[in-house]
């Protein structure tokens, strides 16, 4: 029986950015639900879960997305499943916003009032002083998008452990993609923006060998 480290190593070596999937092979509902749970249960800064996973299975909508996505020309028509990862807009992430105060702190985390108040002030200090994000819309959105990439990484690893291929996608015109989703009533652009996309399926052909810099060029130990 394989050990967990062996399973992880095989999964990481198996995973590659699959550009073209076998359109005849579909991911089972159970396996895809596991992948989604990998995203839903991912960590995020302050535990604020600033994401939404839009699973796009409609072929017509995929074609509309493809028209504004230069980096997904082969993936969108062939993938078994496609996710558009949405990120909260910065104003939704303000310390006193309904999303933070009600949806997260009260309803999801069920924090006692005194704990919620203390966490609110610590978060305010983080935005204003620690990371200096307050008042900078672009930096604020990119900080939220970084949280989404944690979920993206976990979903890709979950898929690889199941023998399922994936491809993270940033090759799209963000404003145009958001306009497509808004016209389809799938995106409230006052609250959400697109962080990235993620395609899943089974490879149409074997990839070239994985290339990475050696460990000594990447890892520095400080004793």
- pLDDT at res. 51: 98
CB atoms near residue 25 (< 10 Å): 14
Q: Identify whether 9 is part of a domain.
A: no
Q: Identify whether 214 is part of a domain.
A: no
Work out how many domains the chain is built from and give that number.
Answer: 1
Q: Identify whether 104 is part of a domain.
A: yes
**What percent of the chain has a predicted confidence (pLDDT) above 70?**
100
Write down the mean pLDDT value for the chain: 97
State the residue for tokens 């999964």. Answer: 11
Question: What single-letter DSSP state applies at residue 80?
Answer: S
CB within 8 Å of 107: residues ≥ 6 apart: none
- pLDDT at res. 196: 98
- pLDDT at res. 159: 98
pLDDT tens per residue across span 81-103: 999 999 999 999 999 999 999 99
Domain that holds residue 117: 15-205
pLDDT tens per residue across span 132-171: 999 999 999 999 999 999 999 999 999 999 999 999 999 9
Q: Identify whether 219 is part of a domain.
A: no
pTM above 0.85, yes or no: yes
Q: Identify whether 212 is part of a domain.
A: no
Q: Identify whether 116 is part of a domain.
A: yes
Q: Identify whether 216 is part of a domain.
A: no
CB within 8 Å of 146: residues ≥ 6 apart: none
Arithmetic mean of pLDDT, 101-115: 98
Which of 111, 87, 95 is CA-nearest to residue 189? 87
- pLDDT at res. 2: 78
pLDDT at 128 over 80: yes
Q: Identify whether 88 is part of a domain.
A: yes
CATH number of domain containing 155: 3.40.109.10
pLDDT at 1 over 80: no
Q: Is 217 exposed, middle or buried (0-12, 13-18, 19+ CB in 10 A)?
A: exposed
């Amino acid at each position: 029986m394989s050990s967990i480290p062996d399973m992880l190593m095989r999964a990481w070596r198996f995973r590659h950015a699959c550009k073209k999937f076998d359109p005849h092979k579909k991911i089972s509902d159970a396996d895809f639900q596991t992948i989604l749970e990998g995203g839903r249960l991912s960590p995020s800064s302050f535990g604020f879960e600033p994401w939404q996973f839009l699973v796009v299975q409609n072929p017509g909508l995929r074609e509309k997305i493809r028209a504004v996505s230069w980096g997904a020309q082969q993936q969108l028509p062939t993938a078994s499943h496609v996710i558009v990862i949405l990120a909260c807009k910065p104003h939704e992430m303000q310390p006193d916003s309904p999303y933070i105060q009600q949806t997260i702190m009260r309803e999801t985390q069920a924090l006692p009032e005194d704990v919620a108040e203390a966490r609110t002030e610590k978060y305010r200090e983080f935005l204003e002083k620690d990371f200096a994000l307050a008042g900078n819309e672009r930096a604020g959105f990119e900080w939220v998008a970084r949280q989404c990439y944690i979920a993206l990484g976990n979903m890709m690893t979950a898929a690889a452990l199941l023998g399922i291929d994936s491809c993270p996608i940033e090759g799209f015109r963000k404003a145009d993609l958001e306009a497509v989703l808004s016209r389809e009533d799938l995106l409230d652009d006052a609250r959400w923006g697109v962080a990235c996309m993620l395609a899943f399926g089974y490879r149409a052909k074997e990839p070239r060998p994985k290339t990475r810099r050696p460990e000594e060029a990447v890892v520095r130990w400080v004793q």
